[in-house]
Amino acid sequence: MDVIVIGGGHNGLVAAATLARKGHGVTLLEGRESFGGVAAGLLHDTDSFSPEIAKALDLAGHGLEFADPAPVFVLSREGPGLLLHRDPVQAAGELGADAEAYISWRAFLKRVLPFATSQLDSVAPDISTSGPLLPLMRRGFAFRRMGKTDIHECLRIGPACVDDTLSEHFQSPLLRAALSARALQGTWMGPRSPSSTATLLLGEAQSGQEIVGGASSLVTALVAACESSGVELRPSSRVSRIQVSQGRATGVTTEGGESLLADRVLSCIGPRRTLLELIEPEHLPIREAGQMANLRLRGTLARVSLRLAEPIDYACRPGLRPKRSLVAEHPLDLERAFDHVKHRRMPTQLPLDIHQTDGEASILIRCATIELQGGWSDKRRQELGDLTLAALEPHVPNIRGIARVTRILTPTDIAQEFDLEGGHEMHGELSLDQLGPMRPSMTLARHATPIDALYLGSAGIHPGGAISGRPGWQAAQVVGSP
Amino acid sequence: MPRKTALFERTADLMTSVAWKEWAGYAAPCNFDAYSEREYFAIRHSAGLLDLSPLAKYMVTGADAARYLARIWTRDITRLKPGRVAYGCMCDGEGKLLDDGTVACLDPETFRVTSSEAWLGWFERHSRGYQVEIEDCTDRLAALALQGPLSREILQAVTEVDLDAMRFFGVAAGSIAGVNGWISRTGYTGDLGYEIWIACEDALTVYDALLVAGKPHHLEPIGLDALDVARIEAGFVMQGVDYISAQHCLIEARKSTPEDAGLGWTVNLERAGWIGREALVQEQEQGPKWGLVGLELDWAEIEALHEEYGLPPHLSPLACRNAVPVYSEGGANEKPVGQATSSSWSPTLKRYLVLAQVHRKYAALGTRLSVEYTVEFERRTITGTVVERPFFDPERKTFTPKAAPKGAS
């Protein structure tokens, strides 16, 4: 079988390698000059990439290594900050009064997350009235096995806001801010938004070890895995149309005018763009067209890159020089930043997610809305850089002396540079109605589309995730089955 | 509160009955006189002039206009030639009827769409991916219907458009009473007739000119009551009466497919890509459930029934729009098989006509059914026989004096 995979982000690479290893002829078309998408130079976190997929694709043979995740240092102006390890025993020394609560929180997660992870590792169930009952019952029994107390707790906290949930357990605002910040990635929420606990649990269910060398090592290994399994990798080949004939996808046309035929087409770019822009509207039923038109994907991500003359040394803990650090001293800082997002304004106080490597720092800002009033301009871009340095200054008084801003990516820049509709790194916000069997919609979550031989496999499809590889992997299983 | 059309001051002045009704948010005359009979006979013997402005009207323009309309309309608009009009309907994703109306091709990238109610939201929602502009021109465009055997002579007196050469369902631009507008040979009476499309500010000029030109021909301004009788004679269904738009139905069973409402002929299931097709292909596989039929009530039975009460048969000059049950032959104790949605005495045909939606099984020509009929508050039934629709279909409706030879468009 000949398969065309559209989009060479991490999910496209995973899907292409998986299909090629099954013996299919795979052509991977990427619009940009290089592969990897958001994994190649936008996002930092690699701890959600599935080790099972790495194993199945023999990524270790292509140089991929996993290691325990580096701790995150949460900066403080009033104390020594918090060096937060995921491992509760390692973290205990820093947590003081919260140490015991953190141990029991981690124990709770350890009990309940295997259920969530098992859901993420399988194709979403059909929850429509016409769907089969048995798969739902199986899931129901698996859920039931968590035990009454934990089930009750999951159902109680899932729809709650993450700030309430964490406040029940922890006193330290630094700890609560750090855990909230993680929960809010890819959402359009603040820590006080309802159901943000659900996205916290989702994030935790996907996280494990991280990749040595970061996301770029993952991309290198995936490209190597594709090459060794015979995938035809074609960068700079942007698809402009998916050819559909009598309700069946037959191939694609590239912007260069080239026409390629295939037995099946798997799109690992955003579902909305795939269905609303690459297909002539006659071929898509209005139900799915409506679902895609209503999909929410308002990007809030921006990035500022710094070149450092010397490593950043934080005033609250000199000499620590952590790889990853966070500027958010209280969940309220995140909530206020989100208030600005909601009102389409630039926040005055930026929470920062800092990733420091030799001589450089890459800073992600998750509260810059693409819908900024008046739009993004050169002036607003500059302002974003100034605000970033201003947010760092209390913690690093000499920051303006040692750091030079080399690049500022506004949400619109990200949308353009990484080919992301809405500038959204996950092709669809994480929210209860766009998750699980409803990601991106009830009828599209199982990778198949109303168009025969056309499948979806980006982060916009169940199970989503930042750099998890799971949507691409699962889509490849569906595409590869007869 | 109903709004006034551009012709309100004139129609209000001509009207002695003060009988207004609300039509799509506008005030529209029911009749101009105590009864609507004179207006009805004008339609069939001379000509009637109706203010059609409340009709929802849209201009659809752009490179993809035809392709787009072929998507939302049941007819293949990509094959509609400039100067032609197509009647058709619009379905939702489940193949249920939303509305019916006409699409006029003014030039390859300009179309005028009419419908009985407002659909801008629906039109815009499904325009994504098409290079197309949609304008709701209901408020800026007035429309007049000039209908009846003498309508050609009357209209020709005020326009340079060659009406003798205009075919049925043709449309042409031209000067009418000195103002620029469009004339289409379309209507809702099943008779020879024209519809005139002009800017609101010109509406009075044209209306007055037509009244003057029509005076020697006994042209009458007409209202909706006379039109209703004429459209039943012509066998035309009306949205909201003979079928309910799927968007207004509270229960699934009230929704109709084009087949159910007698509009199956506007549908081509072979053609792909229009909204509702997939569901209708399935319907066809299972066989449609309902059919729209024309029934003729047995006049002798009506007389005999009134006789039982010692009454002469009573005939209303108005059409009846209250749906009543239809049973299989034998009366109200038999199986209910559908509903009669519109009915009227036809003064021209001297027959009692009914439009009814009945189970497919009972839709064959000649089938005898029982239709509920109330006399003195007692519900009885009258035998109705399925007959050919349209009931009234004069040759003049489609005859073109200077018809181009076949094959030319």
pLDDT digits (tens, 9 = 90+) for B266-293: 999 999 999 999 999 999 999 889 999 9
Q: Which structural domain, as residue segments, surrounds residue A228?
A: 2-67+212-296+424-480
The pLDDT of A21-44, averaged and rounded, is: 96
Contacts of A289 in chain B (CB under 8 A): 126, 128
Split at pLDDT 50, 70, 90, the class of A129 is: confident
Determine if the peptide bond prior to A397 is cis (ω within 30°): no
Go through B191-221 and write b for each residue having 16 or more CB atoms within 10 A of its CB, e for each that does not: bbbbbbbbebebbbebbebbbebbeebebbb
A282 touches chain B (CB under 8 A): yes
- The CATH number of residue A464's host domain is 3.50.50.60
Measured CA to CA, the distance from residue A459 to residue A428 in angstroms comes to: 8
Give the per-residue pLDDT at B407: 52
**Are A434 and A285 within one domain?**
yes
Query: A380 and A436 share a domain?
Result: no
Max Cα–Cα distance, chain B, nearest Å: 67
A280 chain-B contacts, CB cut-off 8 A: 129
In a domain, A435, yes or no: yes
In a domain, A150, yes or no: no
Q: Are A445 and A124 in contact (CB under 8 A)?
A: yes
Across chain B, what does the average pLDDT equal? 95
Decide if B93 touches A, using CB distance below 8 A.
yes
Same domain, A409 and A441: no
- Please identify, among A386, A401, A417, the residue that sits at the C-terminal boundary of a domain: A417
What's the helix, strand, coil split of chain A in %, to 5?
40, 15, 40
Q: For residues A407, A413, A418 and A421, what is the CA-based torsion angle, rounded to 10 degrees?
A: 160
Q: For A263-285, what is the mean pLDDT?
A: 96
B128:A281 CB<8 A: yes
pLDDT at site A482: 79
Whether the predicted pLDDT of A308 surpasses 90: yes
Listed by start position, the domains of chain B span: 8-55+139-222, 57-136, 252-256+289-387
**Contacts of residue A288 in chain B, CB cutoff 8 Å?**
none
Of B93, B129, B278, the CB nearest to A281: B129
Question: What rounded mean pLDDT belongs to chain A?
Answer: 95
Contact between chains at B93 and A287 (C-beta distance less than 8 A): yes
Kindly list the residues from chain A whose CB atom is less than 8 angstroms away from the CB atom of residue B274: 282
Best A130, A272, A277, A282 member to test B by mutation, with max B CBs in 10 Å, is A282
pLDDT score of B288: 87
B324, B251 in Cβ contact below 8 A? no
Q: How confident is the model at residue B334 (pLDDT cuts 50, 70, 90)?
A: confident
Distance CA B13, CA B146 (A): 19
Question: Between A10-21 and A215-228, two packed helices, what is the crossing angle to 10 degrees?
Answer: 30
- DSSP 8-state class, residue A431: -
pLDDT band at B147 (very low <50, low <70, confident <90, very high): very high
What per-residue confidence (pLDDT) applies to B409? Answer: 45
The two beta strands, A25-29 and A232-234, are: parallel
B278 touching A, CB under 8 A?
A: yes
Of A276, A283, A285, the CB nearest to B128: A276
Structural domain includes residue A138: no
Average pLDDT over residues A145-161: 95
Domain count, chain A: 2
Question: Which residues does chain A have within 8 Å of residue B93's beta carbon, measured at their own beta carbons?
Answer: 285-287
What does the pLDDT read at residue A128? 87
Please tell me which of the candidates A247, A283, A293 has its beta carbon nearest to residue B128.
A293
Task: Assess if residue A151 is contained within a domain.
Answer: no
Yes or no, beta carbons of A286 and B272 under 8 Å apart: no
In a shared domain, residues A307 and A228: no
Fold of B8-55+139-222: Gyrase A; domain 2 (3.30.1360)
- State how far the Cα of B325 lies from the Cα of A342, in Å rounded to an integer: 56
Q: What are phi and psi of B373, to 5 degrees?
A: -145, 125
Contact A277 B278 (CB under 8 A): no
**pLDDT number for residue B360:** 94
Inter-chain residue contact B129 with A276, CB threshold 8 Å? yes
**CATH number of the domain located at residue range(s) B252-256+289-387 in this protein:** 2.40.30.110
Mean pLDDT, residues A162-178: 97
* Residue B149 preceded by cis peptide, ω within 30: no
Q: Which residues pair with B372 in a beta bridge?
A: B381
With respect to residue A180, please indicate whether it lies within any of the assigned structural domains: no
A41-69 mean pLDDT: 95
Q: Do A282 and B273 make contact, defined as CB atoms within 8 angstroms?
A: yes
Residue of B nearest to A290 (CA): B125
Measured CA to CA, the distance from residue B273 to residue A4 in angstroms comes to 24
pLDDT at B1: 85
Same domain, yes or no: A231 and A290 = yes
pLDDT at position B406 over 70: no
How many inter-chain contacts (A to B, CB under 8 Å) are there? 29
Q: Is residue A206 part of a domain?
A: no
Would you say B172 and B83 are in contact if contact means Cβ atoms under 8 Å apart?
yes
Which CATH class name applies to B57-136?
alpha beta
Domain boundary among A417, A438, A457: A417
For the segment A332-352, the average pLDDT, to the nearest whole number, is: 96
Contact A3, A262 (CB under 8 A): yes
Same domain, yes or no, for A344 and A410? yes
At B175 the pLDDT is 97
- B272 and A247 in contact by Cβ < 8 A? yes
Q: B373 and chain A: CB distance < 8 Å anywhere?
A: no
Q: Is A433 left (phi over 0), alpha (psi -120 to 50) or beta?
A: alpha
For residues B221 and B36, give the distance between their C-alpha atoms in angstroms, rounded to a whole number. Answer: 11
